[in-house]
């Protein structure tokens, strides 16, 4: 089985979009490849290519739906409450229609529907994932400062890269620590692996509520 973590940026920001591919083997996720920058077309080509090898499970860091009327979705409020309880900051969860988020939401919705079309040909699952919450919910309290700092701190990213190896994500190159987007993409893959694999349990999950919210949301 192939697991793909996607850290998505806005439609015009291909350079900060990272796609990481892992192969599940022997109770581990083994690094296969990383792509960045990535356009929508390049993401779809990669998903299509991997789906012809094996079943594909995708964790994507972007809103894949929005609340009719704007503001938070129920899932956003629940996840914000969860991360505050574990010591993270509430500001990392923003409403999908917030002015800083709306273009990312637009791209996430468009891309998710295009991937869903590919899923009519091959087994592909798609889940919305919050990488910061994936990391923060699995760190100890004394380690939590790393998740609060890694967006801007190289040393924190290096620590988290070693931590990802301890979570059985094997073979990630050291260069992944150079930018937070690569760490986020790997964390998205970790979150969706725990969502899919019955040996694990997501730390938090909000089930899909179609048709308006057609994908699970987890960390």
Give residue-wise pLDDT tens across range 64-76: 999 999 999 999 9
| pLDDT reported for residue 181 | 98
Q: How many domains does the chain have?
A: 1
Instruction: State the SS3 of the chain.
Output: CEEEEEECCCCCCHHHCEEEEEEEECCEEEEEEEECCCCHHHHHHHHHHHHCCCCEEEEEECCCCCCCCCCCCHHHHHHHHHHHHCCCCHHHCCCCCCCCCHHHHHHHHHHHHHHHHHCCCCCEEEEEECHHHHHHCCCCHHHCHHHHHCCCCHHHHHHHHHHHHHCCEECCCHHHHHCHHHHHHHHHHHHHHHHHCCCCCCCCEECCECCCECCCEEC
| pLDDT reported for residue 117 | 95
Report residues of the chain scoring pLDDT below 50.
none
| pLDDT reported for residue 3 | 98
Percentage of residues of the chain with pLDDT beyond 70: 100
pTM summary value = 0.97
| pLDDT reported for residue 55 | 97
Beta bridge partners of 22: 3, 31
Q: Which residue range is the domain that position 32 belongs to?
A: 2-218
**Residue 128 has which token pair?**
């919305």
| pLDDT reported for residue 121 | 87
């Amino acid at each position: 089985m192939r697991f793909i973590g996607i850290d998505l940026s806005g439609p015009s920001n291909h350079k900060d979009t990272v796609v990481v591919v892992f192969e599940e083997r022997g109770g581990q996720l083994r690094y296969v490849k990383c792509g960045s920058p990535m356009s929508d077309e390049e993401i779809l080509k990669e998903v299509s290519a991997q789906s012809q090898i094996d079943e594909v499970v995708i964790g994507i860091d972007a809103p894949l739906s929005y609340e009719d009327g704007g503001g938070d979705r129920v899932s956003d409020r629940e996840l914000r409450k969860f991360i505050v309880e574990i010591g993270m900051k509430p500001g990392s969860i923003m409403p999908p229609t917030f002015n800083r988020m709306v273009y990312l939401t637009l791209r996430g919705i468009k891309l998710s529907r295009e991937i869903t079309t590919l899923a009519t040909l091959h087994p592909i699952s798609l889940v919305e994932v919050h990488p910061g919450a994936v990391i923060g919910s699995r760190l100890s309290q004394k380690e939590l400062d790393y998740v609060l700092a890694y967006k801007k701190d190289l040393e924190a990213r290096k620590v988290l890269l070693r931590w990802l190896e301890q979570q059985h994500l094997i073979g990630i190159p050291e260069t992944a620590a150079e930018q937070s987007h690569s760490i986020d993409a790997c964390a998205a893959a970790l979150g969706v692996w725990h969502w899919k694999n019955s040996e694990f349990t997501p730390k938090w999950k909000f089930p899909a509520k179609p048709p308006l919210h057609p994908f699970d949301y987890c960390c």
